[in-house]
Amino acid sequence: MIIQKQKAFEDILKSLEGEQKVFLAGCADCAAACKTGGEEELVEMKARLEAAGKSITGTAVFDTACQLGAVRQKAREYEQAIKEADSILVMACGTGAQTIGETLEKKAHIGVDSLFVGQVNRLGKYTERCSTCGQCVLEAFEGICPVTRCAKGLLNGPCGGSKGGKCEIDPEKDCGWVLIYKKMEALGKLDKMRAYQPAKDQGSRHTPRQFTWPKKTPEGIKK
Amino acid sequence: MSKLEQSLAAGHFTFTGEVGPPKGVDLHHVMEGAAVMKDKVVAINVTDIQTAVMRLGSLAVSAKLVEAGVEPVFQMVCRDRNRLALQSDLLNAYVLGIRNVLAITGDHVVKGDHRDAKPVYDLDSVQLLKAATILESGSDMGKDFKGRPNKLEGAPKFFKGCVVTPCSDMVEAQILKLEKKVAAGAQFCQTQAVYDAAAFEKFMNEVRRRNIQIPIMVGIVVLKGLGMAKYMNENVPGVVVPEPLMKELSETPKDQTKKKAVEVSARLIKQMKPMCQGAHIMPLGWDDTVGQIVDAASA
């Protein structure tokens, strides 16, 4: 899930400066789960913007704001309200905001900061587990990702900055390498710690990334 | 062959010192510090943007030491450069006459004075050692358009060092990584500060049991007083100043602090001398103590 938080309301207002009529867009996926742009948050944002003197031409929670086709289809229901608006305020991730902006050909403002791809521990607490590096190394590390969970992304063992199982950058954060070491020790697989890990091919992280199926519909995949 | 390599190969108990480049371009202090200790040590480490506080670089100051006839140990952290820059700086170092290099992970940027910087860590310290080994073989980490290793026009040759933290609470993992560093090409090792000879002995026994044969130089950070010892205990991972030493420092009169620092450092080195191949003294600006420590430890 794309973990996200709302931008400060003053910053949102500032981005809407000079625009009177606003259409509000949210997303039923990550944004709803992170309470940044689900139904409730849009109702609240509408009230706050109206109190600040804006008029809201309509609100829509897209099922998946990053999916071009779905956004285009859903937008048809709101054609008039979107047309009337000076701009759209998107309460969803950066991909959602750009998808909506590109699809609806309307100036789209972003109302949230996208933080990371994360795990939902509970409502209001999220942690990063994967940096989408493009070459998963979990198998080599017994299911704990050093690329993400070590603050330095080290592949060949811990630095000297670990203390009491915590990381030098923050005593609240676990040292990823202590987690890996303890797990390997418990599994009797410490020998795996000895394997040299070559430098990662960072080509798979060069942005802008794109991925296209080699064939339009590969065998075995039903559309 | 560097003097450091020669000294360790000859089996001499070998001393190295350390200077930290200034934040700015005034070389006065750092060169003076090097001059003060140069006759007492075989080589002098030059720290590389230590604790992630932006400053003059290790490469430039190492080259200045070479110019001044002092042998540097060029420290390289993995935090600030990607593999192109790291390999290029190894070549730069070689043509500037630098022969000793020390591969270090490097403190995270949040520990320093540019907390908003992007940390790099494109290579880790093991991979950096491997990169240096590859350069020595006349190639680099890249490939040509046919997928073959690139060829260098002239290959460098280094004496490659690494670090280890003997008093880490994860010492077993540190030793596993040390094994990998040696396999990647490390030829000598300087340790993080050690103030507990018994703990160091235990560490060294384990190192030798694993058949890690490279020379190990015990690290001593000159303790500038009780406050610093307290700070290290609380804030520097893997550094433990034991209680009896804390007490000793607390009973030291203010005007005797420097004398005590020399006495403690020399005593520790004497205790650990039979266990290792040298001592790396980090004076943190108290450059005049280095010679005194070496003399007292050698007496």
Give the ipTM of the model, two decimals please: 0.95
Provide the mean pLDDT of chain B: 97
A165 CB-near residues (< 8 Å, 6+ apart): A174, A175, A178, B169
Residue of A nearest to B123 (CA): A199
Are B237 and A161 a contacting pair at CB < 8 A? Answer: yes
Q: Can you name the CATH fold of B3-298?
A: TIM Barrel (3.20.20)
Ordered per-residue pLDDT tens for chain A, 223 residues: 999 999 999 999 999 999 999 999 999 999 999 999 999 999 999 999 999 999 999 999 999 999 999 999 999 999 999 999 999 999 999 999 999 999 998 999 999 999 999 999 999 999 999 999 999 999 999 999 999 999 999 999 999 999 999 999 999 999 999 999 999 999 999 999 999 999 999 999 999 999 999 877 767 776 5
Are B180 and A155 a contacting pair at CB < 8 A? Answer: no
Q: Which of residues 83-102 of B touch A (CB under 8 A)?
A: 83
CA distance B156 to B177: 25
Q: Can you name the CATH fold of A2-115?
A: Rossmann fold (3.40.50)
CA distance B189 to A162: 20
Nearest Cβ partner of A162 from B79, B163, B170?
Answer: B170
Nearest Cβ partner of A158 from B130, B131, B177?
Answer: B177
Residue of A nearest to B192 (CA): A160
Which residues on chain B are in Cβ contact (under 8 Å) with A133? none
Are A160 and B124 a contacting pair at CB < 8 A? Answer: no
Residue of A nearest to B111 (CA): A169
Amino acid at B184: A
CA distance B128 to B100: 14
Which residues on chain B are in Cβ contact (under 8 Å) with A151? 108, 119
Are B108 and A177 a contacting pair at CB < 8 A? Answer: no
Domain regions of chain B by residue span: 3-298
Tens-digit pLDDT profile for residues A97-115? 999 999 998 999 999 999 9
Question: CB of A184 within 8 Å of any CB in chain B?
Answer: no
Nearest Cβ partner of A160 from B78, B180, B192?
Answer: B192
Nearest Cβ partner of B121 from A153, A161, A175?
Answer: A153
Distances (CA, A) of A23 to A45, A48, B140: 11, 14, 55
Amino acid at B179: E
> Residue A82 in contact with residue A23, Cβ under 8 Å?
yes
Coil/strand/helix, residue B1: coil
For position B291, what pLDDT does the model report? 98
For position B252, what pLDDT does the model report? 96
Which residues on chain A are in Cβ contact (under 8 Å) with B176? 157, 190, 193-194
Q: Which two tokens stand for residue A194?
A: 């000895």
Residues of chain A with CATH 3.40.50.2300: 2-115
pLDDT band, residue B73 (cuts 50/70/90): very high
Q: How many CB pairs under 8 A join A and B?
A: 96
Q: For an interface test with B, which of A137, A156, A170, A184 has the most B Cβ atoms less than 10 Å from its Cβ?
A: A156
pLDDT at B213 > cutoff 80: yes
Are B180 and A154 a contacting pair at CB < 8 A? Answer: no
